A and B are shown apart, each in its own frame.
Chain A
Amino acid sequence: MEAPRLAQPVLAILFAPLLLGVVNRVKAWVGGRRGPPVLQAYWDLAKLLRKGAVYSRSTTWIFRAGPIVGVCAALVATALLPVGDTPALMGFPGDLILLAYVFGLARFFTVLAALDTGSSFEGMGASREVQFSALAEPALLLALAAVARNTGSTSLTGMMQGISVHAWTTAGPALALVSAALLLVFLAENARIPVDDPATHLELTMIHEVMVLDHGGPDFAFVLYGAALKLWVLGALLVGIAVPVRSGDPWIDAAGFAAGMLALAVVVGAVESSMARLKLLRVPQLLAGAAALSALALILVLR
């Protein structure tokens, strides 16, 4: 196996928490604050890993399994994603299905861990999570189906290799629609504004944050790290399609990819600074809109 294939997992493992730092820095800059250091997420993780733990008396092994499943699922997903032209560590035709479903597994266990506490807050968050993800799933897979049609490939590696400046000039509208749909899925799945507010402090209004209220110490470090990895992986999927830097040189591709990820973090920060979160009842409409965008893209590439 050639070393470049390790690029995506290594980049993700090392730099996933950095992405959060950039987003927060952008938000602080727009808001006129100094904001936390860019490396804050790393300090948080180090602090949490040094702590003990407190478990609720209601909980069972399910509660302790949740954070581990979250991290492992995201790690497996990093092995399925390529960087530019460089193939993925473990890519194969149909790997995008595995990618979608390992995140499904992680969600299933996060939700069960939340229900294990018997807390009504966490039950509420779990209920919202399954509702929104059930609607985001078709948008994600239909968007990838449009890319599959356009590039004639069913593996993420093949799809990313098929995306190029040329593909954007010939099928630009379809790819733009796919990118928009994926951006919405990315924001929803990672609990960002306008679907969920990661900075909120009221249990009643949270989605992702409220599900992990009872986790502490190393468990919470796993939760945070798993969330950062998920942000990275879904972001990398979007950047792979929206940023067509394919030079054949792994270094230039990686540089283009890194620039794309940074730009995505800035976009997320800008979105979070410029708008409030949607009413919970409006979120399904947003996600149905994402699925509709994917379907439109499919119609464009089908002809």
Chain B
Amino acid sequence: MSLFFVGIGVLLVGGLLSAAAGRNGPWSGRLGALGAVVGCGLALAPAVGVLGTGVALESRLPWPMPGGSFRVEIDALSAFFLLPILALSALAAVYGTGYLRPAPRPPGAHWLYYNALVAGMALTVAARNGILFLIAWETMTLASFFLVTYDHQKESVREAGWIYMVATHLGTAFLLALFLLLQKSSGSLDFDRLEPGTHAGLLFVLAVLGFGTKAGFLPLHVWLPEAHPAAPSHVSALMSGVMIKTGIYGLVRILTLLGPPPLWWGWLLVGIGATSGILGVLFALAQHDLKRLLAYHSVENIGIIALGLGLGVLGVASGSHTLAVLGFAGGLLHVANHAAFKGLLFLGAGAVLHATGAREIDHLGGLQKKMPWTAGCFLVGAAAISGLPPLNGFVSEFLIYLGAFRAVSGLGTGVAVPAIAVIGSLALIGGLAAACFSKAYGMVFLGEARSGHAEHAHDPGGAMVAPMLVLAAACAAIGLAGPWVVRAIGPAIAALAGPGDLPETGLLGRVSLGAGAFLALAALLAFLRSRLLAGRRVGAAATWGCGYAAPSPRMQYTASSYAQPLTDLLRLFLRTRKHLRQPGGYFPGPSSLETETPDVCRDRIFEPVFRGFGWVLARLNWLQVGQVHLYVLYIALTLLALLIWRLH
């Protein structure tokens, strides 16, 4: 356990030293990243140990805060979440040293917040006291706010940071209510003394709202597509890959504290998962900005995780251990898998942005030839996120599917109906995700360069390529070693699904066998073709254009046209806006077509609500005089009023 605290300490010291190094840019960056890597490595050791031995580590200290003690514990569930958090943080830190060069200003402050974010995430999943948890949660939120606003000279970045700040605190408000209610019913905020009392359902809904805002459940996801593209890419990787998973962690931790779940919790989670998953991937499909597209895919993947957790809850509620294990195993494994492939994809998008300066998919193209390493890694990530075998995304989706098919084939209607929803929505999500990532990868890396941005691109340096290679290897390894991975995280699954063996997860061995057969056959066929073509004439020519021999890059299909049939078909949900200037007359002038797909939830739900708030609060403007001593007076008056109320 002390190793964990030392790791947190090294993280914070590294950040402070980096900030202190100030003007000396290179040293500042090195110190910050070194602190992150060493700190993560140190804190990782106890987490691995806990998963290996299954024995939880704990430490409890008295502290002056109300509501219990300073209690930190690493049990199997915490260890499982610590693993991707710390591993991805270390990799993204290495990548960041390359990405922030050339820096517009000394990176000291950036590394301070980066390391604070990592420490906050680690403490969030290890905290066992409500107050401590909220402190860690807020550290994480504030640090990530400052990371998002790294490019604060741009107005769009400031606005994104603002939306993130408001949204995430809205979520925290629900968490405050949750913990207050828990404090009321159990008299303490130490997690081991919490009693849900009689209103467990209300607590569960509060947890879904509060943690769902962080995780990005629809329609609480509105901050994701703003904040993730605005942040520097390694920070996007960290936020999308692991920070939003602290929301999932909070949800499953509360699940373990609330006692046996009723069936409707499972229905609720499946419903949330289906809507988030389907609409998330739909919105992603309509995006033109590579990083925004990836951000919407986080909503989709959080939806898939919710589908898995929902099945797990249904399994526990209906007493089917097999279903519980399959659902929770799929959901949890997808947490780790998403960290690997989404981290990889954001790092890849960052490399493209770094090399070309362009995020618009329609400005790119042909990068496969110019950035082969980045392209290969991005391809692995794209196939993995589409849930294709033999990569890791398929393994977790397979477990969820298998659970759903088990439920449909053998369990009562109350479980079979949501399971059918799981099957239908996963199938639709899978198809749409493949469409979306064939677009993202195909338009950015294949074909010919669509603009000058992409023409002189080249692979980034080793500091940026190595982390991508590690993540790509992780995607392949989890994909091929499914049964062993599930056995390794068995204690974490048992914490949610109840003790017992892990039925049916051994079937992943058969999946690995099929994947192995596939790879062997592919190698055989490639060899066969090279033998066939040996000694024959292998020519090179221009792409077939119905006899036209001088095709130009502008004649290629674009990302917008590629996605148009699907976005048109589903325009009911997307509300894509088109600005069309048609050619007309005998001598047509310039014409143009622009499309944009703003977030429907933001436009239709949050904008009007917040405009209303703004109107009401504007009436209270006279209170806001801009003098600090008056504000202190307000605080004193409020405390006085509370005191009087309490005495009364």
Interface residues of A (CB under 8 A from B): 49, 51-60, 62, 64, 68-69, 71-73, 75-76, 79-80, 90, 92-98, 100-102, 104-105, 107-108, 111-112, 115-124, 126-128, 130-131, 133-138, 140-142, 145, 148-149, 151-154, 203, 213-214, 217-219, 222, 280, 284, 291, 295, 298, 302
A75-B521, A94-B402 in contact; A104/B447 too (CB < 8 A)?
no
**Residue with the highest number of chain A CB atoms closer than 10 Å, among B402, B405, B448:** B405
Q: How far is the CA of A139 from the CA of B539 in the complex (A)?
A: 42
Q: A90-B514, A112-B446, A218-B533 are in contact. List 4 more A-B contacts (CB 8 A).
A: A68-B526, A92-B507, A153-B409, A154-B405
Q: How far is the CA of A75 from the CA of B521 in the complex (A)?
A: 8
Q: CB within 8 A of B432: which of A72, A134, A148, A222?
A: A134
Q: CB within 8 A of B521: which of A56, A72, A97, A218?
A: A72
Q: CB within 8 A of B408: which of A136, A149, A222?
A: A149
Q: How far is the CA of A140 from the CA of B525 in the complex (A)?
A: 29
Q: CB within 8 A of B529: which of A54, A121, A219?
A: A219
Q: How far is the CA of A94 from the CA of B430 in the complex (A)?
A: 16
**Residue with the highest number of chain A CB atoms closer than 10 Å, among B406, B446, B522, B553:** B446
Q: Which residues of chain A are near B532, meaning CB under 8 Å?
A: 49, 218
Q: Is the CB of A97 within 8 A of B402?
A: yes
Closest to B386 in A: A108
Q: How far is the CA of A117 from the CA of B556 in the complex (A)?
A: 9
Q: Which residues of chain A are near B556, meaning CB under 8 Å?
A: 118-120, 123
Q: Is the CB of A142 within 8 A of B423?
A: yes
Decide yes or no whether B572 CB sits under 8 A from chain A.
no
Q: Is the CB of B518 within 8 A of A72?
A: yes
Q: Is the CB of A79 within 8 A of B514?
A: yes
Q: Is the CB of A54 within 8 A of B539?
A: yes
Q: How far is the CA of A218 from the CA of B532 in the complex (A)?
A: 8
**Among the listed stretches B56-64, B210-218, B561-569, which one makes contact with chain A, having 4 or more residues with CB under 8 Å of it?**
B561-569
Decide yes or no whether B517 CB sits under 8 A from chain A.
yes
Decide yes or no whether B550 CB sits under 8 A from chain A.
no
Q: Is the CB of A115 within 8 A of B438?
A: yes
Q: Which residues of chain A are near B579, meaning CB under 8 Å?
A: none
Q: How far is the CA of A176 from the CA of B566 in the complex (A)?
A: 30
Main secondary structure of the interface of B (DSSP, over half): helix
Q: How far is the CA of A55 from the CA of B543 in the complex (A)?
A: 8
A69-B522, A92-B510, A131-B569 in contact; A137/B427 too (CB < 8 A)?
yes
Chain B 401-444 interface residues, beta-carbon cutoff 8 Å to A: 401-402, 404-406, 408-410, 413, 416-417, 420, 423-424, 426-428, 430-432, 434-435, 437-439, 441-443
Q: How far is the CA of A292 from the CA of B222 in the complex (A)?
A: 32
Q: Is the CB of B388 within 8 A of A108?
A: yes
16 contacts between A and B (CB under 8 A): A53-B539, A94-B405, A96-B405, A100-B427, A116-B442, A119-B543, A124-B557, A124-B561, A127-B557, A130-B439, A134-B566, A145-B405, A148-B409, A153-B409, A218-B529, A302-B413
Q: Which residues of chain A are near B446, meaning CB under 8 Å?
A: 60, 62, 112, 115-116, 118
Number of A-B contacts defined by CB within 8 Å: 251
Q: How far is the CA of A117 from the CA of B447 in the complex (A)?
A: 5
Chain B 559-612 interface residues, beta-carbon cutoff 8 Å to A: 561-566, 569
Decide yes or no whether B6 CB sits under 8 A from chain A.
no
Closest to A147 in B: B409
Q: Is the CB of A133 within 8 A of B438?
A: no
Q: Is the CB of B409 within 8 A of A149?
A: yes
A166 to chain B minimum Cβ distance, whole angstroms, is 18
Closest to B442 in A: A115
Q: CB within 8 A of A133: which of B408, B431, B511, B513?
A: B431
Interface residues of B (CB under 8 A from A): 365-366, 368-369, 379, 383, 386-389, 394, 397-398, 401-402, 404-406, 408-410, 413, 416-417, 420, 423-424, 426-428, 430-432, 434-435, 437-439, 441-443, 446-448, 504, 507, 510-511, 513-514, 517-518, 521-522, 525-526, 529, 532-533, 536-546, 551, 553, 555-557, 561-566, 569
**Residue with the highest number of chain B CB atoms closer than 10 Å, among A55, A64, A94:** A94
Q: Is the CB of A94 within 8 A of B401?
A: yes
A56-B543, A145-B420 in contact; A108/B438 too (CB < 8 A)?
yes
Q: Which residues of chain A are near B533, meaning CB under 8 Å?
A: 52-53, 217-218
Closest to B563 in A: A127
The 7 closest A-B pairs by CB, nearest first: A123-B557, A134-B431, A115-B442, A118-B447, A130-B435, A52-B536, A52-B537
Q: How far is the CA of A49 from the CA of B521 in the complex (A)?
A: 18
Q: How far is the CA of A57 from the CA of B518 in the complex (A)?
A: 29
A212 to chain B minimum Cβ distance, whole angstroms, is 11
Q: CB within 8 A of B538: which of A49, A52, A69, A93?
A: A52
Q: How far is the CA of A58 from the CA of B366 in the complex (A)?
A: 8
Q: How far is the CA of A42 from the CA of B368 in the complex (A)?
A: 36
A72-B521, A141-B424 in contact; A128/B510 too (CB < 8 A)?
no
Q: Is the CB of A134 within 8 A of B435?
A: yes
B58 to chain A minimum Cβ distance, whole angstroms, is 38
**Residue with the highest number of chain A CB atoms closer than 10 Å, among B402, B426, B544:** B544
Closest to A119 in B: B543
Q: Is the CB of A58 within 8 A of B428?
A: no
Q: Which residues of chain A are near B518, meaning CB under 8 Å?
A: 72-73, 76, 102
Q: Which residues of chain B are near A118, meaning CB under 8 Å?
A: 365-366, 446-448, 543, 551, 553, 556
Q: Which residues of chain B are near A218, meaning CB under 8 Å?
A: 529, 532-533
A73-B518, A97-B401, A142-B420 in contact; A123/B561 too (CB < 8 A)?
yes
Q: Which residues of chain A are near B406, meaning CB under 8 Å?
A: 93, 154
Q: Is the CB of B416 within 8 A of A302?
A: yes
A213 to chain B minimum Cβ distance, whole angstroms, is 5
Q: Which residues of chain B are near A120, meaning CB under 8 Å?
A: 555-557
Q: How far is the CA of A149 from the CA of B416 in the complex (A)?
A: 9
Q: Is the CB of A57 within 8 A of B427?
A: no
Q: Which residues of chain A are near B507, meaning CB under 8 Å?
A: 92-94
Q: Is the CB of A76 within 8 A of B514?
A: yes
